[in-house]
Structures are given as structure tokens and as C-alpha cells.
Amino acid sequence: MRDTPGMGYAVPMLRIALPNKGRLSEDVRELFNDAGLEARMVGERALSASLGGEFEAIFVRAQDIPEFVADGAADAGVTGWDLVCESGRELEQLLDMEFGQCRLAVAAREESGIASIEQLNGSPRVATAFPRLSREYFRRIGRQVEIVPVSGAAEIAPHLGIADIVVDLTSTGSTFRINGLRELATILESTARLITAPAASGARDEEKTEALNALVMALASVIRARDKRYLMANVPRAKLEQVRDVLPGLKGPTVVDILDGGSYVAVHAVVSAGSVYRTISALKALGCEGILVTRIERLMP
């Protein structure tokens, strides 16, 4: 048990399974670092690390994380939703990390002339590293197929005559196009998720549940802040109502009187990062001055 500063209670040491390599691993570690849960490793090849003292990270293959969590070897884990669904294990989603976006899609050779699932003839052979999800999809749409399991590089299978179509992950579709494949249908949309075993399974007690809730809160506050900015401006009192329309904020902008400000007040608001340039332009048109925009490290609703 560890005392967690600011939380007011002792947190049990929880084991969190994280991806050990690849872009997903990098994104996960960056998020945990930003949440104050930096992995403190004793060496580059260490298989475990302390996460700020309250949690222990174990680094394993992303595809093994659903099994580790379902079997109780880890209290929680972060991996792709596609891998969670493919595992078939009963797991609970705690948080969508909102990165690692991809989709599991069906694709056929461009030269085949096939442009939709309906144009497939007979019982096509399907090369995929996702046999469970592929079977479920084709069963759901009433098509008989022959699954050809592969461990990787499914895109080459139709060109080698191993399969007629493929089911594989893509984020932009560029890998399909580069390999002469046309996307026919999407089976599943996926992002990285924080998962745990269902509470009803008895895999965690009340203390662990509280600790997991604290972890979710910390990570979610960083995710929520990433596409937001904190904006401050000196606003003419006469234009305050128009400014309220420009700066709705979370619950409306905060308005503060300025000492000796006269006809101006200070307005603070949280705005979307993608619309900052338009917001500044609109504020300037209303006569606002002293506009300042800063990043937000964490944001709690």
C-alpha cells in the first residue's frame, strides 16, 4: 500500500500492462508521463517499471495484454480495441485514449474489379491476423468464407494466390492502395483503450476500484486538455454580450473586473485548439486587447 499525495488515501500497488514497442507504446508512455506517471525503469530492456510509485507497469506485447488482464496477471492494461475484441475475453473498457485510430477492413485486389462485399463469389478465402472478428463479420452478413490465418503482411496474400481477399488494419488506407488493394467494408473502428476485468468477476476489491478510478481521472484530464487552450483577453464592457457568443467556454466565459480597467473587463475561457485563430480574429474585430493563449496540462469537467 502506498500513500498517494493529494488523494487522501492509501493506494494499493496496481499492475498495469502496457505495450512494449511500436508507436502505440510511445503514445501510451507520453500520456502517462503527462499525467505524472512517468515510467521509472532500471534499464532500457527492463520488463517492468514504477509509475510514480503508486502503480507498476509491465511491458508486454500489445496482443497479449487482453489475456494478461482477463487472467488477473495485470489489474488493467492499455491496448488496441481491435485486439481486445479479437481476444474474445470479457473485459471492461475504462477509458478511450483517443489515439491509435485505425479500422479493421476488408480489401480485395484492384485488378479483380470487386468493389463491394456483394460482388464476392462463392466462398472466398480470407487472409487475416484477426480470424475471430473475420468469422463473426462474415457470419453476421450471411457469407461463407474460408479463413486463412496469417501472422502479418496479409496484403501480399491475394497476389500470391493464398487468399482472395484480406481483413487487416488500416489507418489511412494507404497501405492497401500501395499494395494494389481496394477497401470493400469496415468491420471495426479501433483506438487505444484502458481495460480491466469486470468488477463482477471478483478480480478487484474496493481499494483497487478506487485506485483505478484515480488512474482514469488522471489520464482523462490530460486527454481532455490536449485539444483545448486557455484564452484570456481584455474586453470592452459594451461588447461583452457579443464576446459571450464567441467564447462560450465550458460553462460560459469567466468575467473579471480589471483594477482601474474603466470600460474593459478581463475574460477567461477554454476554447478549442483548432478554432483559436478564428476566435482571436473575432475578438480583435470586437475591439478586444491583450489576448493571451496558453496550453492546458489538465482539464477536469
Residues 99-149: pLDDT tens digits? 999 999 999 999 999 999 999 989 999 999 999 999 999 999 999 999 999
Distance, in Å, from the CA atom of 34 to the CA atom of 270, rounded to the nearest integer, reads 19
Residues 6 and 73 placed together within one structural domain of the fold: yes
Number of neighbouring beta carbons within 10 Å of residue 93: 11
The reply to whether 267 falls in a domain is yes
The reply to whether 301 falls in a domain is no
Q: Tell me the CATH number at 17.
A: 3.40.190.10
Q: Which residues contact 93 (CB under 8 A, 6 or more apart)?
A: 81, 84, 193, 194, 195
Distance, in Å, from the CA atom of 254 to the CA atom of 266, rounded to the nearest integer, reads 8
pLDDT of residue 206: 81
3-state SS class at 95: strand
169-193 mean pLDDT:
94
pLDDT of residue 4: 45
Q: Tell me the CATH number at 263.
A: 3.30.70.120
Above 80 in pLDDT, residue 14?
yes
pLDDT of residue 244: 86
The terminus-to-terminus CA distance of the chain in angstroms comes to 29
- What's the whole-number average pLDDT of the chain? 89
Residues 178 and 124 placed together within one structural domain of the fold: yes
Residues 260 and 212 placed together within one structural domain of the fold: no
From 189, 213, 243, give the residue that closes a domain.
189
Q: Predicted confidence band at 251 (pLDDT cuts at 50, 70, 90)?
A: low
**Side chain identity at 20, as an amino acid letter?**
N
The reply to whether 300 falls in a domain is no
Residues 94 and 210 placed together within one structural domain of the fold: yes
Domain around 259? 228-295
Residues 205 and 180 placed together within one structural domain of the fold: no
pTM over 0.75, yes/no: yes
Domain tally for the chain? 3
Q: Predicted confidence band at 5 (pLDDT cuts at 50, 70, 90)?
A: very low
Residues 150 and 166 placed together within one structural domain of the fold: yes
Query: Which residue's entry shows cell 491496448?
Result: 79
